[in-house]
Amino acid sequence: MSNTTEGLTKPMSTCADCGVRERAICQSLCDTDLDALNRIGRRQTIERGQTLQWQGDDSLLVGNVIDGVLKLSSTSTDGRDQTLGIMFASDFIGRPFGKVTDHSIVALTDAKICTFPRAAFDDFARDHPDLEHGLLQRTLTELDRTRQWMVLLGRKSATERVSAFLLEMADRLADNDNDAAPLRFALPFGRQEIGDLLGLTIETVSRQITRLREDGVIETPDRRSIVVLDRDALEACAG
């Protein structure tokens, strides 16, 4: 991954202290194996807008997102940037068992990640079948999300794009213990960034959010906060 020297790196604290321990790829490991993995890992902080990995680079590092939001993107031969998906806390980044990466990873917010040398992680995964199986499951899930994202950008209307985006944010960011309570979350970035991700203008994004609010589907207590009042209606708007 390129630009890793630009971020702040330090040895990993114990995996037991990790906020995504129970959701990350390493959740299947016992304490002894976690300690072994911990010894080859590094904790890294990257700033919003920093490119962690460039498309076409040698695949040197892999890792877990601890905090923040990152974007996967691909650049065409004529220089156009295409978003492939968004990565959140507990998601796995990088390309294990591969020498070259086929997409870039850019921080949409300030983020924290734990990284491992790709070759060392590959060797570790080969010796731990549960971890290797988890990698396969994550890869298939990421493939499904990428396909859904392509449909979102290529086939859906502005209303459907914004609604689907809010559903994705709710599923990944909302922290509701009460299933009956409305889903609440804070958007990690502004409407301009949402428009860039969805291929829409900031004005279009704002109009769609206003429409959903006026229809009683969501509430917007402030510019970043979203409360989903009617999930079924939001799903219907998402197509």
Per the prediction, the chain carries an average pLDDT of 84
Last residue of a domain, one of 142, 165, 198: 142
pLDDT tens, 92-141? 888 888 888 888 899 999 999 999 999 999 999 899 888 888 888 877 77
Between helices 158-173 and 129-155, what is the axis angle to 10°?
A: 160
Q: What are phi and psi of 103, to 5 degrees?
A: -150, 160
Q: What are phi and psi of 14, to 5 degrees?
A: -65, 145
Domain shared by 66 and 170, yes or no: no
Domain shared by 25 and 122, yes or no: yes
**Contact 196/111 with Cβ under 8 angstroms?**
no
Residue 5 has pLDDT above 50, yes or no: no
pLDDT tens, 106-116? 999 999 999 99
Domain shared by 168 and 222, yes or no: yes
Domain shared by 87 and 129, yes or no: yes
pLDDT bin (cut points 50, 70, 90) of residue 232 is very high
Q: What is the pTM of this model?
A: 0.76
Identify the residue whose tokens are 């006026």: 214
Supply the CATH number for residue 219's domain. Answer: 1.10.10.10
Domain shared by 90 and 191, yes or no: no
Max intra-chain CA distance, the chain: 55
Domain shared by 190 and 164, yes or no: yes
Give the three-class secondary structure for 41. coil
> What average pLDDT does the segment 205-229 reach?
93
Q: What percent of the chain has pLDDT over 70?
A: 88
Looking at the domain assignment, is residue 29 inside a domain?
yes
